[in-house]
Structure 1
Amino acid sequence: MRRMIALALIVLTPSPILAQPGPDPAKIYAENCARCHQLSGKGLEGAYPGLAGDRITTGPAPAAIRLVLDGKGEMPAFRNRLSDAEMAAALSYARTSWGNMAGAVTGQEVTKAKAAAK
């Protein structure tokens, strides 16, 4: 019985590694994307595109990841500006906010896209 209780305590005690939160998606977006794409996701007409309903934002994750990694036009590359987890958080925020219903992005997907682009 004592072994069962000890095992239950081990299993039910949160690991310090698992208990640490990841990057805050809204904060990462606000600090890195909102200047151009706005907190509302509507962008600035004639200058920066909105992300609400955007076909790249809501399309296949690899295309959105590549765009954020490498930038395009006036959009800077975030490859060396954000960690993979931070990039995944910002992308996930944009893909699931303002009525967007695309799936979240993981840090592993970003890491994989970086490796494929080398």
Structure 2
Amino acid sequence: MKHALIQAALAVTLAAAAAAPAGAQEAAGDGKALFMKNCAACHQPTGKGIPGAFPALANSKFVQGQGNEVASVLLKGRGGMPDFSESLSDSEIATVLTFVRSSWGNKANGLSEADIGALRTTLGVEPFGNAVMSNKH
């Protein structure tokens, strides 16, 4: 059942990304727009997630914890969550995490593009754009 929910959410995300207007690239610097495009299908626009399938990001101790731990999930994936290392730049990952870490009752410091780049190196994750198939989502 959980696998079916993950598959359905990924299908919705892919359909939404395909239907994005041409000006969507202009919204790349906007954390909320990036969240809505890449995260909201699973974690919901409210950040409350789907109990038993996708964790809540709202009022989350994990989200408000160590920035590197939160960023590692986006760079390497975890559980049923895919990694976004090939589909989001370091700047975009920093922007979306800064939005999430300061929304829905969360009160944590943001992350910078340099933070994400350094973490990529530490984790041994290829630099954005070096993959054979970029934008795998």
TM-score range, shorter chain: 0.7 to 0.9
Aligned equivalent of 2:74: 68
The number of equivalent residue pairs is 99
Question: Is 1:38 matched with 2:44?
Answer: yes
Aligned equivalent of 2:114: 108
Aligned equivalent of 1:16: none
1:10-49 superposed Cα distances (whole Å, 9 cap, x missing partner): xxxxxxxxxxx97111000100011100110000111100
Aligned equivalent of 1:91: 97
CA shift, 1:67, in A, is: 1.0
CA shift, 1:68, in A, is: 1.1
- RMSD (Å), alpha carbons: 1.6
Q: Secondary structure at the match of 1:64?
A: helix
TM-score scaled by length of structure 2:
0.69
- Gaps of at least 5 residues in structure 2 are 1-26, 125-137
1:26-81 superposed Cα distances (whole Å, 9 cap, x missing partner): 00010001110011000011110000122221101010011111011110001111
Distance 2:98 2:91 in 1: 10
Distance 1:51 1:91 in 2: 11
Return closer, same or farther for 1:28/1:22 CA change in 2, 3 Å cut-off. Answer: closer
User: Is the CA contact (8 Å cut-off) linking 2:34 and 2:92 kept in structure 1?
Assistant: yes
The structure that has the greater radius of gyration is 1
Letter matched to residue 55 of structure 1: K
Q: Secondary structure at the match of 1:39?
A: coil
Distance 2:98 2:54 in 1: 19
- Gaps of at least 5 residues in structure 1 are 1-20
Structure 1 segments, 4+ long, off by >4 Å, are: none
Identity %: 35
